Structure 1
Amino acid sequence: MQAKIFHQTSWAQTTLGTPLELYKKTHSLSGFSERPILFIGGVHGDEPEGVRLANELLAWLQKEESENSSSIRPWLLIPCLNPDGYSRNQRTNANGVDLNRNFPCRDWSPESKAPRYYPGPSPGSESEVQALVKLIEDEKPQLIVHFHSWEPCVVYTGSPGKTAAETLATGTGYETREDIGYPTPGSLGQYGWIEHQTPVICIEEQEHINLDLVWPHFQKGLQMLLKKESK
């Protein structure tokens, strides 16, 4: 029933050698007329809301792909990019690096306002970031969406992502913003847009919210984003 979904149990590895899982619509997305949407959970290990949302989205996709695959746009999904940090309930990876400040972007900076934002010794130094950069270069997603928690909002980097961000915020009452409110050099958003002109959306759920509420908040918007419009 789920043969349409391609699952790599060890698509890449963390700096400690922990396997990173990857799911996608089929083994090869090259036959589709549109580029895929890439979804990522668990960039920050102390944000379980993002991992929960990624896993709930995967469960819905598994059901939809088994019943009506043709109605779903091409997609890729990483449930947790930072499993080492997630297992320790810490923002950073096992090297103490904030993955969302480590991307090899022209604006990467060695400066950080606190240890939890440490960008690493050099841009793209971390295994997790290297793997994601290669995936982006190989698959060329049309849109990247990563799941976080802080204060409720949906942030888009790159003006072409505004419409998708508004779709994802449907029914949540959460503000849609073009800027999170402070500089994020070396972030995924900056990398995707500056280096590839790929819009990136950061979903910020309320931190410490009841995890059972996360999927209901974003279910409608995610389904609207992924379902093809009927002709």
Structure 2
Amino acid sequence: MQGEIFHQTSWATTIRGTPIELYKKTHSLSGFSERPLLFIGGVHGDEPEGVRLAEEFLQWLKQAEITHSAEIRPWILIPCINPDGYSQNQRTNANGVDLNRNFPCRDWSAEAKAPRYYPGPSPGSEKEVQALVKLIEDEKPQLIVHFHSWEPCVVYTGHPGKTAAEILATGTGYEAREDIGYPTPGSLGQYGWLEKQTPVVCIEEQEHIDLNLVWPHFKTGLEMLITGRNS
């Protein structure tokens, strides 16, 4: 049976009015017995690996919903949450704010070790973050996964996310670990776990890798996670 994919071409907009797309399994998740998995690409605009992974995962999901929809768990996917930064190949959004330091959580800090980590004038000041916070409030995902690039690893925030991180690392040779190695106040991981008790997994692909290698690296793990196999 073919599943329905709901596509919002302008789920939210940036300060510049740039639309942000969102896809999810069916228009309403009320018919499902479990809360959705939320996937996000493009938090940092200078990490094309994360956007590429989200886009190719979306293409796989579109086909999977045609061929074996019943096996696919409820999901929501935002291919690129920071389209302004992505178009300029810059980490920050159009306001010069690092979205992954702007979330309204108890450890938010006004301090930044460099301009590219600027957390904004106040927690949750940015439209992209506000939209994502509302989405999390409304949809109450059981797990949040966001796609980045830096040094290869799969990092989970919140112990319940450990199993998902290990699944996502399947076949990559990348370590699944609880700490990225430095503080990330105001990050999505901190917000999800500290404020919502929702585990968050951050996939870090090797930065500057051939983009054609990104999906093959994580295909097995993402398929396992979204179908619930071996989880």
Q: 1:212 to 1:183 in 2, by over 3 A?
A: same
Matched position secondary structure for 2:68: helix
Is the counterpart of residue 50 in structure 1 residue 45 in structure 2?
A: no
Question: Whole-Å Cα distance in 2 between the matches of residues 2 and 62 of structure 1?
Answer: 10
Question: Whole-Å Cα distance in 2 between the matches of residues 120 and 2 of structure 1?
Answer: 43
Q: Deviations over 1:23-65 (max 9, x none)?
A: 0000001110000000000000000000000000000000000
Question: Whole-Å Cα distance in 1 between the matches of residues 39 and 31 of structure 2?
Answer: 20
Q: Deviations over 1:60-79 (max 9, x none)?
A: 00000011111100000000
Gaps of 5+ in 1: none
Question: Whole-Å Cα distance in 2 between the matches of residues 207 and 181 of structure 1?
Answer: 17
Q: Report matched runs for 1:127-166 at 5 Å.
A: 127-166=127-166
Q: Deviations over 1:124-149 (max 9, x none)?
A: 00000000000000000000000000
* Amino-acid identity (%): 83
Letter in 1 for 2:145: V
Contact 1:2–1:62, Cα closer than 8 Å, also in 2: no
Q: Deviations over 1:57-114 (max 9, x none)?
A: 0000000001111110000000000000000000000000000000000100000000
Question: Whole-Å Cα distance in 2 between the matches of residues 213 and 145 of structure 1?
Answer: 19
TM-score by length of structure 1 reads 0.98
Q: What is the aligned partner in structure 2 of residue 32 from structure 1? A: 32
Shift, 1:163, TM fit? 0.3
Q: What is the aligned partner in structure 1 of residue 122 from structure 2? A: 122
Q: Deviations over 1:146-192 (max 9, x none)?
A: 00000000000000000000000000000111010000000000000
Is the counterpart of residue 112 in structure 1 residue 109 in structure 2?
A: no
Q: Report matched runs for 1:61-210 at 5 Å.
A: 61-210=61-210
Q: What is the aligned partner in structure 1 of residue 227 from structure 2? A: 227
Contact 2:3–2:69, Cα closer than 8 Å, also in 1: no
Gaps of 5+ in 2: none
Equivalenced residues, count: 230
Structure 1 vs Structure 2 CA RMSD: 1.2
Q: 1:228 to 1:3 in 2, by over 3 A?
A: closer
Matched position secondary structure for 1:57: helix
Question: Whole-Å Cα distance in 1 between the matches of residues 229 and 145 of structure 2?
Answer: 20
TM-score by length of structure 2 reads 0.98
Matched position secondary structure for 1:155: strand
Matched position secondary structure for 1:103: coil
Question: Whole-Å Cα distance in 1 between the matches of residues 148 and 173 of structure 2?
Answer: 17
Shift, 1:228, TM fit? 3.6
Write out the 4+ residue segments of structure 1 that deviate beyond 4 Å after TM superposition: none
Matched position secondary structure for 1:181: coil
Shift, 1:212, TM fit? 0.2
Matched position secondary structure for 1:8: strand
Shift, 1:2, TM fit? 7.3
Q: What is the aligned partner in structure 2 of residue 6 from structure 1? A: 6
Letter in 1 for 2:136: I
Letter in 1 for 2:150: W
Q: 1:136 to 1:33 in 2, by over 3 A?
A: same
Question: Whole-Å Cα distance in 2 between the matches of residues 229 and 120 of structure 1?
Answer: 40
Shift, 1:15, TM fit? 1.1
Question: Whole-Å Cα distance in 1 between the matches of residues 219 and 75 of structure 2?
Answer: 16
Contact 2:50–2:149, Cα closer than 8 Å, also in 1: yes
Letter in 2 for 1:198: T
Q: What is the aligned partner in structure 2 of residue 22 from structure 1? A: 22
Letter in 1 for 2:166: E
